[in-house]
Each structure stands twice: as structure tokens, then as C-alpha cells.
Structure 1
Amino acid sequence: MLSALVWGVIAASSLTAGALLALLRDWRAGLVGGVLSFGAGALISSVAFELAQHGLKLGGPRPVAIGLALGALAFFVADRAVSKIGGRSEGGSGGLPLALGALLDGIPEQAVLGIGLATGKGVSVALLVAIFISNLPEAIGSASDMRKSGKPSKDVMSLWALVTFVCALATLGGYAIAQAVGSHVKAGIDGFAAGALLVMLVDSMIPEAKKKAGNVAGLVTVLGFAVAAGLSNLN
């Protein structure tokens, strides 16, 4: 269980790192979009080669399909709730909604790390890289907006440190749940995370990457997919 927490902190630490980078300097939208595109491709690969594949091996197609539908619906509803209070808009109300948006994206990603550890797979290098990279542009963009709105640097860092901590705890939660349930439920959890991530990618991450990176977004996304797919074969 301690290892799940440690790996969760490592994966989520890029949220704090991204906020710090945003406070140190201004970042071009194209660069942020490029990193976002690479992270999107890496996450797509993780959904295909880590979550869906592992879930099918554990419990077959039915629990994975049910998990996919439930995860997609849960993220859709939660994301709309966050959007209504400004969590997907520029600036937000004092920065808290922006942090809620990052938290909503991070929880299913991080929980899967813990599930992998609990099922004896060990740490997925591909998923770890995908989470770490995809966190950076979201934290940079959001923390930059907070800084421009006049929020003190100390408050920005405190807020993102809290988001990092909660996301790390999600890894621990994923580990604990996977330890307590059977293979069919674990397969459903894999499907749930995959469904949530797919909705996040299509509704939020990929459109933002295209907006910021322009025409190169597709190429960089494929590069991220290829790198993560290669890393999946190392596990």
C-alpha cells in the first residue's frame, strides 16, 4: 500500500511542477498545446493497451463494457457540474474551479495506477508517463490564469499542492478497492477509468490541444501514442 502512495505522489507531482513553472515565466500557447497533444496521445494508448486490454483479460467484455458506460456517464455529469461553476473557463472564481477540473481529470488516471499495483501488474511505465505529461499543460495553463487574475503565488501553490495530494490519494484508493474485490469488478473498474478518460480526452483535452497547437496537434498526438505504446511493451 505504501508503494501505491509513493507512485501516486510521483505521478501527481507534475501538477505542482506545472503550477510552479507557470509562476516562473510565461509559456507560449503553442508549446503548451504541443505538450497537451503528446499527453493526449499517450493517454489514448494507455486506454487501449493498459485499461481495456487488462480489463478484458481479468473479466471479459461484459464488465468492461458496463464500466465504460458508467465511467463515461459519471465523468460527463461531473464535468458539466464543474463547468457550471467555471472549472473549464478562463480564470474561474478565485482558481478553485480550475483546480476542481484538474482533480476531475486526475482521479481516474491515478486510481488505475493503484489498481495495477494491487493486481500484481506493477507500475505501468506507459501510464505513469502519460499521466505525468498530461498533467503539466493543464496545471501550467490554469496556474497562469490564476497568476494573471492577481492570485498570490503562495495561494496558487497551496491550491495545486492540495490537488496533487488528493490525486495521489486516488492511487491509494484504487489499490484498496482492487484488493477487496474480485476480478470481474476489477475489470469493471478498468472500464470505468477508460470511459472517464475517453470522455475527458474528446470533450476537453484534444479540443484544447488543437486550439493551442494548431495544425501540428494531430502529429504530436500520434507521436505521444507511439511512445506510450512502445513503453507498454516494456511492462
Structure 2
Amino acid sequence: MLTAVLYGLAASSALVLGSIIGSLWDPPRWLTGILLAFASGALISALAFELFEEAFHLGGAVRSGLGLLAGAAAFVLADSALDRYVTGHPGPEQREVTKAGASGGVGFALLAAVTLDGVPENLALGVSLAGGVSLTLLVAIFFSNLPESLVGAVAMRESGQSRKTVIMTWAICALLLTGAVVLGRLVAGGLSDAVLAVALSFAGGAVIASLADTLMPEAFEHGRPLNAFATAGGFFLSFVLAA
């Protein structure tokens, strides 16, 4: 269990680091787009060669496939509910409109969105630890957390929040997501192979949906043309770590 705590803290430390940078500096959007592209490639590789591969071996094509679809559906439902709560519309493009503003509770809406994206990733990390150490997924989550928290911190600072409030808020978010890693490890610890396969693939499906809905569109919009190279670089690094 100590491993789960340490891995959770390591992955979530990027949220605190990003919030510190974002509270002091307003980075160009192309840079955050490239970082998100790198994280997307790393997550794709980690999911393909660790998380879902393990689920497939443990439970076969049917269980792992159904778990993957269920995880994606769960994320889409939760994400649509968040969009509707924040903007009054269920579409992700409405959240982008909200992100573009710099007043009211925009920063906290971003925080909620990042938390929603981070929960399946960190649960997946915790579940994967039941089968051994998952360094590739840890690296991928770190690089996805960093640019998201950086952009969120900038939005919060522009909406009038103090640097201390921004950093403390993201630190609390980091602790919550660390708890998600521990929860994932606890839940997976006593599961049979068949159920663990579903849990792994469910977490993987949620992460894939998060990639398609949040990380990759943002990387494509702001990181072109270097986003293609960054995605390939993230994929390669994650693959090497998994080899």
C-alpha cells in the first residue's frame, strides 16, 4: 500500500508543480498544447502495452472489451454532466468557451474538469499496481497533469485568486487524486482475475475517453504542427519504459 501512496504522490505532484508555475508565469498556449500531446502519446502507449494488455490476458476479449466500453461510457456521462453544470450545455465545446473567459468561477470549473479527467487515470494507476509496478503509466499521468494544472492555475489567477489560494487549491486536488490511486489499489487487491480484468479495462476505457475528449483536442488546437512529433515522442518514451 505504501507503493500506491508514493505513486499517487508522484503522479499528483505535477498538479502542484503546474500550479506554482502557472501562478507565476503565463505560458504560451502552443507550449501547453505540445505538453498535452506528449502526455497523450505516453498514455496511449501505457494503456496499450500495460493496462489493457493485462486485462486482455486475465479476462479475454469479451470481458476486457465490455469493460473498456463501460469505462468510456461512464466518463462520457460524467463529463457531459459536468459540462451541463458549468455551462448549461452538454458539449465539450461549451466548456472551451468557459475556459476562454477569465472571470467568476472559471478557474474552479477548470479544476473540476481536471479532477474528472484525473480520477480515471489515477484509479487506473492504482488498479495496475495490483499486477506490479507501472512506471509507464505514472510517467504518462505526470505529463498530463502538468499542463492541465498550469493552464488552470493561470485562469484562476486571472480571475482574481491569490497565488497562495491557487497553489493550495491544486494541492488539495493532488491529495484527492492520490487517494484515487490508493482506492484503485485497495479495490483491485482482493479481486479475482476475471473481475480484475474488467476493472483494468474499465479504467482504461475511461482514460481513453478522457484522451479523446480533452487532451488530444486541446493538443491539436494549440500545439500544431509540433503536436504530432510530441505525441510520437511520448509514445516512444512510454514504450521504452514498458519494454
Q: So what's the TM-score if we normalise by structure 1? A: 0.93
Q: Partner of 2:128 in structure 1?
A: 116
Q: Secondary structure at the match of 1:100?
A: helix
Instruction: State whether residues 94 and 151 of structure 1, in contact with CA within 8 Å, keep that contact through their aligned partners in structure 2.
Output: no
Q: Secondary structure at the match of 2:161?
A: coil
Whole-angstrom CA distance in 2 between matches of 1:101 and 1:184: 31
Moved segments of 4+, more than 4 Å: none
Q: Partner of 1:164 in structure 2?
A: 174
Whole-angstrom CA distance in 2 between matches of 1:67 and 1:102: 23
Tell me, which stretches of 5 or more residues in structure 2 are unaligned? 88-94
Instruction: State whether residues 108 and 156 of structure 2, in contact with CA within 8 Å, keep that contact through their aligned partners in structure 1.
Output: no
Aligned pairs, how many? 231
Q: Partner of 1:226 in structure 2?
A: 236
Q: So what's the TM-score if we normalise by structure 2? A: 0.90
Instruction: State whether residues 122 and 177 of structure 2, in contact with CA within 8 Å, keep that contact through their aligned partners in structure 1.
Output: yes
**1:177-229 CA distance string (max 9 Å, x none):** 11122111111111111111111111111110011112221121111111111
CA-CA distance at 1:2 after TM superposition: 2.0
Q: Partner of 2:90 in structure 1?
A: none
Match of 2:192 among 182, 187, 204: 182
CA-CA distance at 1:27 after TM superposition: 0.6
Match of 1:215 among 203, 225, 242: 225
Whole-angstrom CA distance in 1 between matches of 2:21 and 2:143: 14
Q: CA RMSD in A?
A: 1.4
CA-CA distance at 1:94 after TM superposition: 5.1
Q: Partner of 1:126 in structure 2?
A: 136
- The range that moved more, 89-98 or 151-160, is 89-98
Percent identity between the two aligned chains: 38
Whole-angstrom CA distance in 2 between matches of 1:75 and 1:124: 22
Match of 2:206 among 180, 184, 196: 196
Tell me, which stretches of 5 or more residues in structure 1 are unaligned? none
